[in-house]
Amino acid sequence: MVFLEFEKPLEKLYEQLDKIKQVGEEGIVDVTEMMRELETKIRNTRKDIYSNLTGWQKVQLSRHPERPYTLYYISQMCKKFIELHGDRCVKDDKAIVGGLASFEGQTVVIIGHQKGINTKMRQYRNFGMANPEGYRKALRLMKLAERFNFPVITLIDTPGAYPGLEAEERGQAEAIARNLFEMAQLRVPIVCVVIGEGASGGAIGIGLGDRVYMLENTWYSVISPESCSSILWHSWDYKEQAAEALKLTADHMFEFGLIDGIIKEPVGGAHAAPEEMAKLLKKQIKKALTELQEMEPDERIEARINKYANMGVYDTEPSDVPKKEK
Amino acid sequence: MGWFKRLKEGIQTATRNKKEAPEGLWYKCKECKETSTMKELRENFFKCPHCGHHVRIGSHDYFDLIFDGDQYEELFTDLRSKDILGFKDLKPYPERLQEAMKKSGLTDAIAVARGKVNKKNLVIAAMDFNFIGGSMGSVVGQKIAMAIDYCLDTRSPLLIISKTGGARMMESAFSLMQMAKTSAKLTQLAKARIPYFSLLTDPTTGGVTASFAMLGDINFSEPAALIGFAGPRVIKETIKKDLPEGFQTSEFLLEHGFLDFITDRKDLRETLSDLLNLYDL
């Protein structure tokens, strides 16, 4: 088990539990009662810790190495999945996966960022940081979905679009912009869920939809707390303050009206009970698709554009008339 | 060996005896280090008279350069940024806004105006880099959305002049959503078959490049502008290699197929007029 820094009290309790178990195995003392007590204590401690998470702690949870990723959720939620590769221009980006799947008796196109499960795979997946090919593959699959009237599901989990030399040469910005433009007018329903990290353009590049949800312990922001700290505080050490200032948690995002809902995670986070998490995720996506499929495409597109057009807060009755200082 | 030897180190002239040129009279070029008068610079379309370097200018300078007889009407001037998040880094966001307003005399990082170019209607939304780095927050997104609605109502073409570091951090996810908002609104313009021209100027990076700036029916740029998604420093730190000469310049983007053409600032008005004529508007 991997324990995050704020989970240290739990780690100690688990250590105690292991010791008691060992004693119990020796068969001299009856430890069942002690074990039961300790397990209750663990449950309560976990509940305590998880009911008061700070922004930064949620960021850490969203990056937990044991957290389930896109392909896991697909395998749990979909009966059949055929992965489709390549953008038909340059190559196949491993940081974004996608394909045709059977979801609750209907065919869907499901797309998501994919991180690696171990060191080797993390590199192979480029840590979930897509190049333009990834966004163009995603667009190709969405267009395919549109042609055959399959709904689109996207799962978001990225520390950002890859800031590399080739990415710039091949138009990282254009690829993301094009996706936003095309997704706004896609004639099939789009449901997006942030399942881990939702960093900036890299996230929204597959994240414009009729419904956007966030898992409880994820974040969505214009910049990662680390980069924000480095730019605004001129130091990497203010990531915790930055995480608070950016108001990047699911609760904040819902309060601001920038997402449509929050999907609760099991106590201890998605990785503590991945199967249960997948069930909860599936339930919410199914509900959203049912609602969306009752609408006409034009009506759906109009509602989608209006939803985004209404995002933004500003004053319209200025008290000032600024004058340039001499 | 030098001919002269400095006897006393440092600057000896007292501050009160310092000879200062009045601000706004001279311009020293960042590229060629040559000096010219502001008048010369202005007459040369804000390009260095010696090397042709395109100096960063503001929204109203562009309006003056492009519209017939410098005549235009500014639209949507009563929008102001709001501190929704209570954002505070080293300074609270409202303080930054006040400072930016005082320093620039502007109300936010974009201004929208309507006017005519060789008697043809045009709406221009131009960004101002000296307002918090030309960053896009709710007001920038909303003004672009309103400009698009105005263009839909009046069937006038739209020009957006980008000059920005990207999305505004102090509005966090609200800024991020402006990427979706502006892109979604632009699809309405495309559906109504109203042309949208995107002029990318030095610098255009981040969330703006990754949304409306790259979505023009025609994307064009001024010479030697920095255009990209990630900033050069970030890329250098990521790949741990030096970046090639001319990386992320207008010329680089033209070469890689992301710009339609590059236009010198002195030809900007003429180019736009030609485009409007060819579109038969």
Give the Cα separation of A323 and B226 in Å (integer): 30
pLDDT band for position A27 (cuts 50, 70, 90): confident
Give the Cα separation of A201 and A178 in Å (integer): 12
Give A-chain residues touching B90 at CB under 8 angstroms: 232-233
* pLDDT tens digits along A46-61: 888 888 899 999 999 9
pLDDT given at position A318: 76
Are A295 and A303 in contact by the 8 Å Cβ rule? The answer is: yes
Across the interface, do A204 and B142 touch by the CB < 8 Å criterion?
A: no
Q: Which of A31, A95, A89 is nearest to A69 (CA)?
A: A95
Q: Are strands B80-81 and A314-315 parallel, antiparallel or unpaired?
A: antiparallel
CA dihedral of residues B234, B237, B243, B248 (deg, nearest 10): -10
Contacts of B167 (CB under 8 A, 6+ apart): A200, A222, A223, B135, B136, B137, B175, B176, B178, B179, B206, B207, B208
Specify the 3-state DSSP secondary structure of A109: strand
Cα→Cα distances A222→A80, A115, B134, B180, B208, Å: 35, 20, 16, 12, 12
pLDDT given at position A326: 42
pLDDT given at position B67: 97
Give A-chain residues touching B172 at CB under 8 angstroms: 221-223, 245-248
Across the interface, do B230 and A167 touch by the CB < 8 Å criterion?
A: yes
CA distance A10 to chain B (A): 33
Q: Which of B139, B191, B235 sits opposite A168 (nearest CB)?
A: B235
Give B-chain residues touching A325 at CB under 8 angstroms: 102-103
In chain B, the domains with their CATH numbers are 56-278 (3.90.226.10)
Give the Cα separation of B109 and B197 in Å (integer): 19
At B164, phi and psi to the nearest 5? Answer: -160, 155
Give the Cα separation of A271 and A265 in Å (integer): 9
Are A198 and A225 in contact by the 8 Å Cβ rule? The answer is: no
Place of tokens 């939803």: A307
Are B220 and B261 in contact by the 8 Å Cβ rule? The answer is: yes
Helix (H) or strand (E) holding A254: helix A250-255
CA distance B108 to chain A (A): 11
In chain B, which stretches have pLDDT less than 70? 1, 11, 13-23
CA distance A1 to chain B (A): 31
**The token pair that represents A84 in the structure block:** 């489709």
- Whether the CB of B233 is below 8 Å from some CB of chain A: the reply is no
Are B205 and B253 in contact by the 8 Å Cβ rule? The answer is: no
Q: Which of B125, B174, B172, B173 is nearest to B149 (CA)?
A: B125
Cα→Cα distances A286→A73, A81, A198, Å: 14, 17, 22
Across the interface, do A185 and B187 touch by the CB < 8 Å criterion?
A: yes
Specify the 3-state DSSP secondary structure of A6: helix
Reported ipTM: the value is: 0.93
**The token pair that represents A280 in the structure block:** 């909860």
pLDDT given at position B21: 53
- Say which residue, B31 or A262, is predicted with more confidence: A262
**The token pair that represents A39 in the structure block:** 């397990």
Give the Cα separation of B231 and A227 in Å (integer): 12
Across the interface, do A312 and B213 touch by the CB < 8 Å criterion?
A: no
Across the interface, do B142 and A208 touch by the CB < 8 Å criterion?
A: no
Give the Cα separation of B63 and B71 in Å (integer): 8
Type of residue at A246: L
The whole-chain average pLDDT of chain B stands at: 93
Q: Which of B173, B228, B238 sits opposite A256 (nearest CB)?
A: B173
CA dihedral of residues A200, B184, B166, B157 (deg, nearest 10): 170
Place of tokens 């190709």: A140
Q: What is the DSSP secondary-structure string of A61-78? A: HHT-TT---HHHHHHHH-
pLDDT band for position A323 (cuts 50, 70, 90): low
Q: Which of B84, B188, B230 sits opposite A305 (nearest CB)?
A: B188
pLDDT given at position B62: 97
Q: Which 3-state string (H, E, C) describes chain B?
A: CCCCCCCCCCCCCCHHHCCCCCCCCEEECCCCCCEEEHHHHHHCCCECCCCCCECCCCHHHHHHHHCHHHCEEEECCCCEECCCCCCECCCEHHHHHHHHHHHHCCCCCEEEEEEEECCEEEEEEEECCCCHHHCECHHHHHHHHHHHHHHHHHCCCEEEEEEECCECHHHHHHHHHHHHHHHHHHHHHHHCCCCEEEEEEEEECHHHHCCHHHCCCEEEECCCCEECCCCHHHHHHHHCCCCCCCCCEHHHHHHCCCCCEECCHHHHHHHHHHHHHHCCC
Contacts of B105 (CB under 8 A, 6+ apart): A322, A323, A324
Place of tokens 């780095």: B133
Give A-chain residues touching B78 at CB under 8 angstroms: 316-318
Please state at what angle helix A297-309 crosses helix B172-191, rounded to 10 degrees. Answer: 140
Give A-chain residues touching B82 at CB under 8 angstroms: 313-315
Percentage of residues in chain A with pLDDT exceeding 70?
Answer: 98
Are A117 and A99 in contact by the 8 Å Cβ rule? The answer is: no
Q: Taking 80 as the threshold, does the pLDDT of residue A236 lie above it?
A: yes
Give B-chain residues touching A232 at CB under 8 angstroms: 89-90, 169
* pLDDT tens digits along A7-26: 888 999 999 888 888 888 88
Q: Which of B82, B169, B229 sits opposite A222 (nearest CB)?
A: B169
- Find which of A180, A190, A226, A237 to mutate to test the B interface (most B CBs within 10 Å of its CB): A180
Across the interface, do A312 and B241 touch by the CB < 8 Å criterion?
A: no
pLDDT given at position A313: 95
Domain made up of A60-309: CATH architecture: Alpha-Beta Complex (3.90)
CA distance A52 to chain B (A): 20
Are B205 and A168 in contact by the 8 Å Cβ rule? The answer is: no
- Whether the CB of B133 is below 8 Å from some CB of chain A: the reply is no
Strand order of the β-sheet with B158-164 is B72-75, B110-117, B120-127, B158-164, B196-204, B218-221, B261-262
Q: Which of A105, A100, A125 is nearest to A115 (CA)?
A: A125
**The token pair that represents B129 in the structure block:** 């880099």
Q: Taking 60 as the threshold, does the pLDDT of residue A322 lie above it?
A: no
* pLDDT tens digits along A72-125: 999 999 999 999 999 999 999 999 999 999 999 999 999 999 999 999 999 999
Please state at what angle helix B138-154 crosses helix B172-191, rounded to 10 degrees. Answer: 10
Q: Which of B258, B202, B252 is nearest to A132 (CA)?
A: B258
At A310, phi and psi to the nearest 5? Answer: -85, 0
Give the Cα separation of A326 and B120 in Å (integer): 37
